Amino acid sequence: MATWNEPVKKHEVLHPVRIFHTPTGELVADFGQNMVGWVHISAKGAAGDSIKIFHAEVLDKHGNFYTTNLRNAKAEDIYILKGSGAEESFEPHFTWQGFRYIRLEGYPGEVKPEDLYATVLYSDMPQTGTFSCSDPLLNQLQHNIEWGQRGNFLDVPTDCPQRDERLGWTGDAQVFSRTASFLRNVDNFFAKWLRDVAADQIANGAVPHVIPNVLGKNDGGSTGWSDVSTIVPWNMYLAYGDKKILETQYPSMKAWIGYMIDHSHDYLWNTGGHFGDWLSYWPEGHGENAAITDSYLIAQTFFAYSTQLVIDAARVLGHPEDVEKYTAVLQKVKSAFQREYATPDGRLVSNTQTAYTLALQFDMLPEAVRQSAAERLVKNIRNYNNHLTTGFLGTPYLCHVLSRFGYTDVAYTLLLQQTYPSWLYPVKMGATTIWERWDGQKTDSTFEDAGMNSFNHYAYGAIGDWLYRVAAGIDTYDSAPGYKKIRIMPHPGDSLTYMNADLDTYYGRIASHWKHEGGHLTLDVTIPINTTATVYIPAPAAAETAITEGGQPLSAHPEIGLIGRENGYAIVEVGSGSYHFQTN
């Protein structure tokens, strides 16, 4: 039975896709998928025969077994046969590994595929979301995002499962939390872990870098990482509609704001150590092309965002005095940002994609200059030949900001970019999970710094949130969380012919499927019982009779209310049911 302390584990089985010898003569089995779990092995041999299994994520450029990136982790299982004359089977009971490949030493006789299988291990979170489209590379990216979550959501959200780490890094969980809530039901998973966040929170309000905190009492307080205490509770509230998580975490949320206030000067938080935009683009030789964003600029944006989330939570929980208090704090935080980091026309001291993305995502600039700041963001992207340069903190919001300010075409250009740095570069290199670095394996098939080079590290998989909520268009309203009131607002990409997203909520299944077909755009929508939806139908500026549902003009459907047009969309209100919209 599942408990707060020990979620039920989910098991799947993978068989090796091939068994072969490497150029150096090593006996290796390839399971075809970077995964987390263990290998079950069967063998028959003499008493005392020793079988060793070593684990690796990748092969090197010559096709040999590569384990340098595991650092000090042995990733080794040893089995000793009793030699009864019968076939014996082994698997570990007290550990797991992160791997795609295994190397065998000492196996008696010839190993056959039926002698091996891998057990996939992860916390038992029912799958809730699916996504597919007309681009096979994007479908592989989706696959990689899903397997990154499988491998790293094991009792706690770890950053990576394979090397001598396996820690609950708060920044990774924070940036991926909304994506995670689409793919699987993580309601109880995060509710439990957030209690741990509050329990380990330092007395001064700082949140440790990892939860459970095994690093030390002073290892905390980094922007974007400690903000897990505000961002994840709010994301879970939006996804599942249960304000209990806000009630439980509210003291922790306020304590983190208190820490930032206490360590700021006139509400300018420019003290302490921060990871910043971790693993952003630093090309060979670095130089002026390195995308380095001032870490205190980043800190100020998250100071504002977390404060806004406490305001939002206070409204939900009925604390008007806190709404008033933190609204005054937020105004001072944003004013301090504008004084320190921005010119009156919206130019930022760090001319990076992350700086403009965070400033725009969190409304740090006066409204009058936000569009020009978005133009600077797009210019920066063009200057990098349509490549992203963001790290852990900028990446989750980059495409969201582009779409918000009318540049969905640029967002798609980044999404579909196949050369480094991009989401699809690892896919083209054969990745089956999300990499820690944009270039974990370089274009010449050598590897990045082995001291920090995981091939199963889900943070950059946060692009999934944009795919589901913007490209496919299934989204929530803050005023009716948990998909009680649904927004369907797809953003079709011209280079894609179709996109399908389905989400199982506590009310039932939501679907948003769009397709370019025969000069028309069709939008198939499913809305579950006891809910309503506002549907934005991509349509040219034409009369509503150019839009049909079920082959008939909208005017023939009195139950569908056309409430207006906005930025290339016809907007309708619908109740539960299935709808087939088509536009000319």
Q: Are residues 506 and 369 in the same domain?
A: no
Residues 389 and 451 occupy one common structural domain: yes
Q: 436 catalytic, yes or no?
A: yes
- Please check whether residues 229 and 117 belong to one and the same domain: no
Q: Specify if 568 maps to a domain.
A: yes
Q: Region 479-489: what's the mean pLDDT? A: 97
The per-residue pLDDT for 285 is 66
Whether residues 64 and 157 fall in one domain: no
The per-residue pLDDT for range 545-565, each reduced to its tens digit, is 589 999 998 888 888 878 888
98-107 pLDDT, tens digit each: 999 999 999 9
Q: Are 100 and 32 spatial neighbours (Cβ–Cβ below 8 Å)?
A: yes
- The dihedral sign for the CA sequence 441, 446, 449, 455: positive
Domain-ending residue, one of 75, 105, 123? 123
Half-sphere exposure of 190 (CA within 13 A, CB side): 30
Task: Please report where in the chains the tokens 């009864």 appear, as a residue.
Answer: 84
Residues 501 and 563 in one domain: yes
Asked whether residue 286 carries a pLDDT value surpassing 80, the answer given is no
- Looking at residue 353, which CATH number applies to its domain? 1.50.10.10
Map 255-301 to HEC letters.
HHHHHHHHCCECCECCCCCCCCCCCCCCCCCCHHHCCCCCHHHHHHH
Check which CATH number belongs to the domain holding 527 and give it.
2.60.420.10
Q: Do residue 271 and residue 185 come from a single domain?
A: yes
In a domain, 492, yes or no: yes
Catalytic residue (one of 57, 88, 146, 436): 436
Kindly report, residue by residue over 177-225, the tens digit of the pLDDT.
999 999 999 999 999 999 999 999 999 999 999 999 999 888 999 999 9
Residue 541: which pLDDT band, with cuts at 50, 70 and 90? Answer: low
**pLDDT over 90 (residue 289):** no
Task: Annotate 552-567 with DSSP letters as a single string.
Answer: EEGGG-TTSEEEEEET
Checking if the pLDDT of 110 tops 50, the result is yes
The range of the structural domain enclosing residue 175 comes to: 129-471
Which pLDDT belongs to residue 518?
A: 83
Instruction: Render pLDDT for 334-390 as a digit per residue (tens, 0 to 9).
Output: 999 999 999 999 999 999 999 999 999 999 999 999 999 999 999 999 999 999 999
In this structure, the answer to whether residues 284 and 420 fall within a common structural domain is: yes
Residue 286 contacts by C-beta under 8 Å, 6 or more apart in sequence?
Answer: none
- The last residue of one of the domains, among 427, 453, 471, is 471
**Alpha helix segments (H runs only) across 163-319:** 170-183, 187-200, 228-240, 244-262, 295-317
Q: What is the pLDDT of residues 423-469, one digit of tens each?
A: 999 999 999 999 999 999 999 999 999 999 999 999 999 999 999 99
The count of domains in the chain is 3
What is the per-residue pLDDT for 217? 84
**Kind and range of the H or E run holding 10:** strand 9-14
Contact 166, 158 (CB under 8 A): yes
Joined together, the tokens standing for residue 285 give 């030789």
pLDDT of 359: 98
| Whether residue 431 sits in one domain with residue 324 | yes
Task: Write down the residue that tokens 């509210």 correspond to.
Answer: 250
Are 519 and 446 in a shared domain? no
399 within 8 A of 372, measured Cβ to Cβ: no
Specify the CATH number for the domain of residue 15: 2.60.120.260
Residue 476, domain member (yes or no): no
Is 15 inside any structural domain? Answer: yes
Residues 171 and 307 in one domain: yes
Kind of pairing, strands 116-123 and 65-66? unpaired
Hey, what amino acid is at 384?
Answer: Y
Quote the pTM value: 0.96
The number of residues in the chain equals: 584
> Of the candidates 448, 471, 494, which is a domain's last residue?
471
Q: Predicted confidence band at 395 (pLDDT cuts at 50, 70, 90)?
A: very high
pLDDT of residue 4: 38
Say which residue the tokens 């009369």 belong to.
543
User: Would you place residue 322 in the very low, low, confident or very high pLDDT band (cuts 50, 70, 90)?
Assistant: very high
Radius of gyration of the chain (CA): 25
> Is the bond into 421 cis (omega within 30 degrees of 0)?
yes
User: Does residue 579 sit in helix, strand or coil?
Assistant: strand
User: What long-range pairs does 427-430 form, CB within 8 A, spacing at least 24?
Assistant: 427/137, 427/140, 427/141, 427/144, 428/137
- How distant is the alpha carbon of residue 367 from its chain centre? 29
**229 φ/ψ angles, rounded to the nearest 5 degrees:** -70, -20
pLDDT higher than threshold 80 for residue 527: yes
Query: Is position 93 within any domain?
Result: yes
**Does 1 reside within a domain?**
no
pLDDT at 3: 35
Residue 243 shares a structural domain with residue 292: yes
Phi, psi of 211 (to 5 degrees): -130, 125
Shortest CA distance to 121 belongs to which of 164, 150, 157? 150
Q: Examine the domain organization and report whether 395 and 465 are in the same domain.
A: yes
Can you state the angle between helices 408-416 and 367-383, rounded to 10 degrees?
30
- Across 227-238, average pLDDT: 98
Q: Measure Cα distances from 149 to 38, 245, 279 in Å.
A: 17, 22, 20
Q: Is residue 39 part of a domain?
A: yes
Flag whether 16 is in a domain. Answer: yes
Catalytic residue, from 165, 375, 448, 544: name it.
165
Tens digit of each residue's pLDDT (9 = 90 or more) over 141-154 = 999 999 999 999 99
